[in-house]
């Protein structure tokens, strides 16, 4: 294994940037994370931002970069295609869009589109994680991918059969910071899934999803009237929205026992707790970081002529 990176992998989203310098066999040699989301990159220039990170990672000139995420959206660097579902993931890399005019080969993987009159949906970035999930051997079942726009995906023998997005994370951020609920949750630092309020909120919304927008207002009312703490009310907000997402996935797909949960860090704990409250007998934990790196490596290995014995420059 050479210590000189053979390629870079990057997951570039609306509000975050993560890149890894990798050897030809996918071993991670270095990592960069930053808040360089699309808005700031649009101002500073996408190639400037990317090359700054790749220089810090010691990526040789000419070594290629494989990217996924909202960088390939209409409001990103360049629009990468949407491939239609149902779809097997084998051909994903072959459909990557090469960014024109860059110093080094830079590719953006396509997103996926569910072109349904009644259930239109899109994803960008998650398809690459799913490529890693399938490469890891989880080929049939449901995958829950928490996030700004959480995805629930039905895999059938390694193919993406159907999926649904839920605005869970975006609504949480908005309601927490800019809504009438702001004062009720101000000062809370994070969501503690061990608080009874989290479990109560999950149970309430699972029992009666129709009351969602009333339950949200009650977070303010409970603060005004009962002096409930901001920690308690933030847990309630999180439990309400995560519970709603699970209620929606159950309504759409039925029994979700054994679903894979693709998450890392604190958010994984929240969903694990909610899964248990929803009565899922068991679930299959997957590390989100590992899956996206695995997916990007799978794509890079299929598209690039990586040279494991020397510098690719």
182 binds a copy of itself (CB under 8 A): no
Q: Minimum distance from CB of 166 to a copy of itself (Å)?
A: 4
Residue 195 touches a copy of itself, criterion: CB under 8 A: no
Whole-number Å distance between alpha carbons of 163 and 154: 6
Q: By CB under 8 A, is residue 233 in contact with a copy of itself? A: no
Under rule CB under 8 A, residue 115 binds a copy of itself: yes
Q: Are 55 and 61 in contact (CB under 8 A)?
A: no
Q: DSSP code of 72?
A: G
Q: Whats the size of the chain, residue-wise?
A: 313
| Minimum CB distance to a copy of itself smaller for 6 or for 219 | 219
Binding status of residue 230 toward a copy of itself by CB under 8 A: no
| Nearest distance, CB of residue 225 and a copy of itself, angstroms | 5
Tell me if 121 contacts a copy of itself by CB under 8 A: yes
Per CB under 8 A, 164 contacts a copy of itself:
yes
Judged by CB under 8 A, the residue of 230, 248, 268, 272 near a copy of itself is: 248
- The answer to whether residues 146 and 166 touch, using CB atoms and an 8 Å cutoff, is no
Helices 212-226/230-253 angle, 10° precision:
170
Beta strand 7-12 pairing with 65-68: parallel
293 binds a copy of itself (CB under 8 A): no
Binding a copy of itself (rule: CB under 8 A), the pick from 44, 251, 279, 308 is 251
**How many chain residues interact with a copy of itself (CB under 8 A)?**
48
Residue of 127, 157, 170, 151 whose CA lies nearest to 263: 151
C-alpha distances in Å from residue 228, one per residue of 159, 215, 216, 222: 46, 15, 14, 6
Site for a copy of itself in 204-223 (CB under 8 A): 208-214, 216-218, 220-222
Query: Shortest Cβ distance from residue 312 to a copy of itself (Å)?
Result: 36
Give the residue with the Cβ less far from a copy of itself, 23 or 233: 233
CA atoms of 106 and 74, how far apart (whole Å): 17
* Residues in touch with a copy of itself (CB under 8 A): 74-75, 82, 113-115, 117, 119-122, 149, 164-168, 170-171, 174, 178-180, 183, 208-214, 216-218, 220-222, 224-226, 241, 244-245, 247-248, 250-252
């Amino acid at each position: 294994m050479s210590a000189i990176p053979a390629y870079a992998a990057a997951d570039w989203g609306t509000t975050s940037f993560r890149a890894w310098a990798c050897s030809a066999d996918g071993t991670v040699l270095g990592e960069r994370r930053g808040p360089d989301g699309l808005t700031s990159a649009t101002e500073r220039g996408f190639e400037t931002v990317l090359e700054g990170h790749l220089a810090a990672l010691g990526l040789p000139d000419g070594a290629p970069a494989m990217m996924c995420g909202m960088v390939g959206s209409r409001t990103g660097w360049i629009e990468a295609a949407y491939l239609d579902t149902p779809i097997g993931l084998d051909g994903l890399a072959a459909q990557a869009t090469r960014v024109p005019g860059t110093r080094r080969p830079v590719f953006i993987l396509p997103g996926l589109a569910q072109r349904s009159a009644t259930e239109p949906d899109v994803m960008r970035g998650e398809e690459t994680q799913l490529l890693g999930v399938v490469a890891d051997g989880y080929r049939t079942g449901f995958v829950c991918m928490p996030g700004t726009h959480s995805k629930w995906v039905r895999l059938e023998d390694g193919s993406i059969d159907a999926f649904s997005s839920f605005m869970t994370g975006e609504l949480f951020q908005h309601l927490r910071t800019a809504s009438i609920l702001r004062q009720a949750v101000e000062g809370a630092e994070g969501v503690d899934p061990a608080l009874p309020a989290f479990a109560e909120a999950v149970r309430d919304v699972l029992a009666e999803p129709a009351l969602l927008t009333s339950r949200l207002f009650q977070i303010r009312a409970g603060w005004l009237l009962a002096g409930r703490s901001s920690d308690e009310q933030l847990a309630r907000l999180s439990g309400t929205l995560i519970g709603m997402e699970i209620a929606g996935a159950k309504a759409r797909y039925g029994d979700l026992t054994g679903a894979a949960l693709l998450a890392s860090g604190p958010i994984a704990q929240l969903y694990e707790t909610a899964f248990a409250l929803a009565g899922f007998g068991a679930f299959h934990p997957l590390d989100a970081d590992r899956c996206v790196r695995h997916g990007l490596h799978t794509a890079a290995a299929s598209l690039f002529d990586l040279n494991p014995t020397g510098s690719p420059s």
